[in-house]
């Protein structure tokens, strides 16, 4: 009886020590769910979700503090992916959320720009080149189309231009849509 008790408690202690050690040794830094959610978000860093960037929004979703339908650049496809990941039901965009727009880039009218650097400070991805009292310009490939630079411009020289379709970005249409178009 006593031996059995000793053996059992020894096993319990040993296993407890192993678990305690691995909990310290293999501890996961941060919440892995946040990274998974962040990977689905489009990284425009536009703040349309009312959070200051994609990562804070992902953190809020993971903590259950925000709905999954607050990201217009991600589109309905993005909501669907988030719903899949989190095991939630798909919900349409909320009424207070802006409607998704076609992907655009900001363009600075270089004749009007006064070189105030306000847009440079607003850009979340450092996609604007320029210096004080020098003309600014946007590095188009790095612009996420977040529109955060449009409001601060004191001379309204920044416009959002939708990206034109090129042979590189062209996609085959969904066959059923294509047929519907042909039918009438």
Partner 1 sequence: MRKLHTFHGGIHPAEHKLESSAQPSLRAPLPQRLVLPLKQHIGSAAKALVQAGDKVLKGQLLAAAEGMLSAAIHAPTSGTVAAIDFHAVAHPSGLPELCIVLQPDGEDRWLEHAGFDYRALPRDELLNRLRDAGIVGLGGATFPTHVKLNNAQHIQTLILNGAECEPWITTDDRLMCERAAEIVQGIEILRYLAQPADTLIGIEDNKPQAIAAMQQACAGSGIEVVVIPTLYPSGGEKQLIKILTGKEVPSGGRPLNIGVVCSNVATAFAIHRMVNHGEPLISRLITVTGNVKSPRNIEALIGTPIAELVQLAGGALEDANGYIVGGPMMGLEVTNAQLPVVKGSNCIIVKSDKLFPAPPPALPCIRCTRCVQVCPAELQPQDLYWFARAKNLGKAQSYNLFDCIECGACSYVCPSNIPLVQYYRFAKSEIWANERDKEAANLARERHEFHLLRIEREKQDKADKLAQKEKAALAAKAAAATQAQPIPSQPAQSQPAPDPATVSATDAVAIDALRAQVREIAHPEAKHTKE
Contact footprint for partner 1 (CB under 8 A): 38, 41-45, 53-54, 117, 120-121, 123-127, 131-132, 142, 144, 165-167, 169-176, 178-179
Bridge partners (DSSP) listed for residue 161: 105
Of the pair 100, 124, the CB lying nearest partner 1 is at 124
Find the shortest distance in angstroms from Cβ 14 to partner 1.
42
Of the pair 89, 177, the CB lying nearest partner 1 is at 177
What 82-88 contacts at long range (C-beta under 8 Å, 24+ apart), as own/partner pairs, is 82/37, 82/40, 85/36, 85/37, 85/40, 86/37, 86/61
Find the shortest distance in angstroms from Cβ 71 to partner 1.
12
Distance between CA 134 and CA 117 in Å, rounded? 9
| Residues 86 and 68: beta-carbon distance below 8 Å | yes
Of the pair 46, 68, the CB lying nearest partner 1 is at 46
Of the pair 79, 120, the CB lying nearest partner 1 is at 120
Find the shortest distance in angstroms from Cβ 77 to partner 1.
9
What residue has token string 């847009």?
Answer: 119
């Amino acid at each position: 009886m006593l031996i059995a008790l000793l053996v059992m408690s020894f096993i319990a202690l040993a296993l407890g020590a192993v678990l305690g050690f691995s909990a310290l040794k293999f501890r996961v830094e941060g919440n892995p769910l946040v990274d998974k959610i962040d990977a689905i978000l489009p990284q425009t860093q536009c703040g349309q979700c009312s959070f200051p960037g994609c990562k804070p929004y992902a953190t809020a979703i993971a903590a259950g503090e925000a709905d999954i339908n607050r990201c217009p650049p991600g589109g309905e496809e993005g909501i669907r992916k988030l719903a899949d990941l989190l095991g939630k039901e798909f919900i349409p965009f909320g009424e207070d959320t802006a409607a998704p727009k076609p992907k655009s880039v900001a363009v600075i009218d270089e004749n009007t720009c006064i070189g105030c650097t306000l847009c440079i400070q607003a850009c979340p991805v450092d996609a604007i080149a320029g210096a004080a009292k020098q003309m600014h310009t946007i590095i188009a490939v790095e612009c996420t189309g977040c529109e955060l630079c449009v409001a601060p411009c004191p001379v309204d020289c920044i416009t959002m231009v939708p990206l034109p379709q090129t042979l590189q970005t062209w996609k085959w249409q969904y066959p059923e849509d294509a047929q519907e178009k042909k039918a009438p």
